[in-house]
C-alpha cells in the first residue's frame, strides 16, 4: 500500500477539505503540519521544490501537487492506481 502525505497547517480550510475527502474515499494518509513541525517543514520544502501553499500531497515521497491535482487524479480514476 502506498503512503500518502498531506502537508498542511492548522488554519487552512482547503487542507481540512482535502483530509475530509481522503477519509470519504477511504484513503489513509499521514498529516504533516508544517506550522508546528520544523522537520516536516524542511521535508515539505525539499519535496515540493519550495512550494508556498498548502495543502501539498505526496504519494510514496513523490510530489503530486495540491487539492486540485488530487481531485483530478481521483476523477480520472488514476488515484487508486497510484495508491496500490
Q: Which residues make Cβ contacts (< 8 Å) with residue 66, sequence separation at least 6?
A: 14, 51, 53, 54, 55, 56, 57
pLDDT at 2: 87
- Largest Cα–Cα separation, the chain: 34
Q: Where are the domains of the chain?
A: 10-53+67-82
Average pLDDT, the chain: 95
Residue range 26-70, pLDDT digits in tens: 999 999 999 999 999 999 999 999 999 999 999 999 999 999 999
Q: What share of the chain is helix, strand, coil (3-state, %, to 5)?
A: 40, 20, 40
Predicted TM-score (pTM) of the model is: 0.94
Amino acid at each position: 500500500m502506498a503512503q500518502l502525505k498531506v502537508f498542511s497547517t492548522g488554519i487552512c480550510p482547503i487542507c481540512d477539505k482535502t483530509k475530509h475527502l481522503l477519509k470519504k474515499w477511504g484513503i489513509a494518509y499521514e498529516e504533516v503540519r508544517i506550522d508546528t513541525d520544523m522537520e516536516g517543514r524542511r521535508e515539505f520544502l525539499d519535496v515540493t521544490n519550495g512550494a508556498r501553499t498548502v495543502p501539498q500531497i505526496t504519494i510514496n515521497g513523490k510530489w503530486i501537487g495540491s487539492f486540485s491535482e488530487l481531485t483530478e487524479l481521483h476523477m480520472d480514476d488514476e488515484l487508486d492506481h497510484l495508491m496500490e
